[in-house]
């Protein structure tokens, strides 16, 4: 038997519980792992609380990220005892995920735990940090240089936002952080933000074109915020869109695209091919700062996950939550 968070259909909506499951209930993957650590992402919180239709089949074990120690393998590339990392690929949505003491995986989803990270550190980064890295890589590949001007990060106190600020500042970019929690300004500045913006300035309906401010944008928020970010991006600049914390809509005009040549990059972490994942984790390893990672993350146990998911959606959690499955 092993413990897991299990989401089941209820009379109205869904219900998440901590339950003991039998190993025979796991799907037949080519890797069986003892989960060492997982995380609580925004998407996991939506799944656990049932606030959005993240879960595609029931019962479901949530958890879109995990580090596991291989206990059975029918893939010659992985041996018993190896530590492996999964971000996305449908775990916690279509396939049972990381908020459990055991998981059955396809070897097509995993990469070896990248050096120099411990399981805890990789989960402190998790999908949030890896998505922030993909966003920063898109701006770099667009050719944005540090001397081109400020980069705006929205949803600054969230997991993706916190990592984006830290990564951009380590790369020498000047970062403006948009937040609804100005009381966390010291924290955002400690991550490397040069300027704090009240998110109210960006959350109302946008004029199609505004004063050119941003060389690039990492947007985690969507809706009016993304529209305002696009409208104030400099000629030839780029904006990445990964999130929908304000909303799924995009009430924008084409003016920034056709008059300023602005480019909007969509960022998806879930189905990203393995080669790009490895590249992102390689760059994360190069920029890795253990002290900053500690200040961004805190640890909980499996039994804390349901309550913490509620707090996360209320915007009460700063940075990243690591779930220790060996506690």
Q: List interacting residues with ligand NDP (CB under 6 A).
A: 41-43, 127-128, 131, 155-161, 179-181, 199, 203, 220-221, 225, 242-246, 267-270, 312, 315
Cα distances from 19 to residues 35, 39, 172, in angstroms, run 16, 18, 47
Least Cα distance to 194 among 217, 174, 209, 214 occurs for 174
Residue 19: count of CB within 10 angstroms of its CB: 15
Quote the Cα angle for 244-249-253, to 5°: 120
Residue nearer to ligand NDP on the CB measure, 52 or 285? 52
Shortest distance, position 221 Cβ to ligand NDP, whole Å: 4
Shortest distance, position 93 Cβ to ligand NDP, whole Å: 12
Shortest distance, position 57 Cβ to ligand NDP, whole Å: 20
Residue nearer to ligand NDP on the CB measure, 209 or 270? 270
Classify burial at 201, counting beta carbons within 10 Å of its beta carbon; exposed 0-12, middle 13-18, buried 19 or more: exposed
Shortest distance, position 63 Cβ to ligand NDP, whole Å: 14
Nearest residue (beta carbon) to ligand NDP: 158
Cα distances from 213 to residues 22, 36, 197, 232, in angstroms, run 56, 44, 13, 5
Residue nearer to ligand NDP on the CB measure, 62 or 155? 155
Shortest distance, position 44 Cβ to ligand NDP, whole Å: 9
Shortest distance, position 242 Cβ to ligand NDP, whole Å: 4
Residue nearer to ligand NDP on the CB measure, 61 or 160? 160
Shortest distance, position 183 Cβ to ligand NDP, whole Å: 10
Residue nearer to ligand NDP on the CB measure, 83 or 197? 197
Residue nearer to ligand NDP on the CB measure, 83 or 160? 160
Residue nearer to ligand NDP on the CB measure, 77 or 204? 204
Residue nearer to ligand NDP on the CB measure, 88 or 149? 88
Shortest distance, position 289 Cβ to ligand NDP, whole Å: 19
Residue nearer to ligand NDP on the CB measure, 128 or 151? 128
User: Which tokens belong to 119?
Assistant: 């399981």
Q: Which residues contact 55 (CB under 8 A, 6 or more apart)?
A: 7, 14, 47, 62, 93
Shortest distance, position 261 Cβ to ligand NDP, whole Å: 24
């Amino acid at each position: 038997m092993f413990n897991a968070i299990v989401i089941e259909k209820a009379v109205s909506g869904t219900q998440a519980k901590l339950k003991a499951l039998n190993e025979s209930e796991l799907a037949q993957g080519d890797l069986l792992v003892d989960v060492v650590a997982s995380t609580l992402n925004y998407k996991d919180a939506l799944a656990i609380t049932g606030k959005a239709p993240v879960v595609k089949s029931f019962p479901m074990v949530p958890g879109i990220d995990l580090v596991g120690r291989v206990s059975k393998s029918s893939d010659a590339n992985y041996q018993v005892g190896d530590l492996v990392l999964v971000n996305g690929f449908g775990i916690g949505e279509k396939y049972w995920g990381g908020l459990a003491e055991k998981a059955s995986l396809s070897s097509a989803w995993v990469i070896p735990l990248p050096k120099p990270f411990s399981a805890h550190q990789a989960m402190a980064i998790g999908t949030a940090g890896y998505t922030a890295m993909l966003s920063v890589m898109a701006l770099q590949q667009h050719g944005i240089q540090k001397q081109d001007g400020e980069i705006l990060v929205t949803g600054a106190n969230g997991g993706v936002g916190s990592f984006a600020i830290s990564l951009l500042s380590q790369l020498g970019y000047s970062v403006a952080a948009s937040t609804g929690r100005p009381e966390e300004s010291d924290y955002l500045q400690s991550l490397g933000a040069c300027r704090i913006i009240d998110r109210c300035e960006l959350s109302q309906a946008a004029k199609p074109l505004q004063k050119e401010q941003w060389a690039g944008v990492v947007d985690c928020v969507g809706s009016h915020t993304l529209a305002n970010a696009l409208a104030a991006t400099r000629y030839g600049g780029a904006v990445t869109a990964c999130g929908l914390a304000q909303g799924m809509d995009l009430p924008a005009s084409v003016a920034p695209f056709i008059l300023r040549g602005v480019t909007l990059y969509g960022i998806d972490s879930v189905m990203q091919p393995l080669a790009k994942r490895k590249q992102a984790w390689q760059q994360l390893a190069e920029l890795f700062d253990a002290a900053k990672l500690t200040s961004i993350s805190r640890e909980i146990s499996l039994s804390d996950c349901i309550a913490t998911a509620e707090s996360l959606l209320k915007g009460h959690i700063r940075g990243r939550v690591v779930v220790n499955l060996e506690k």
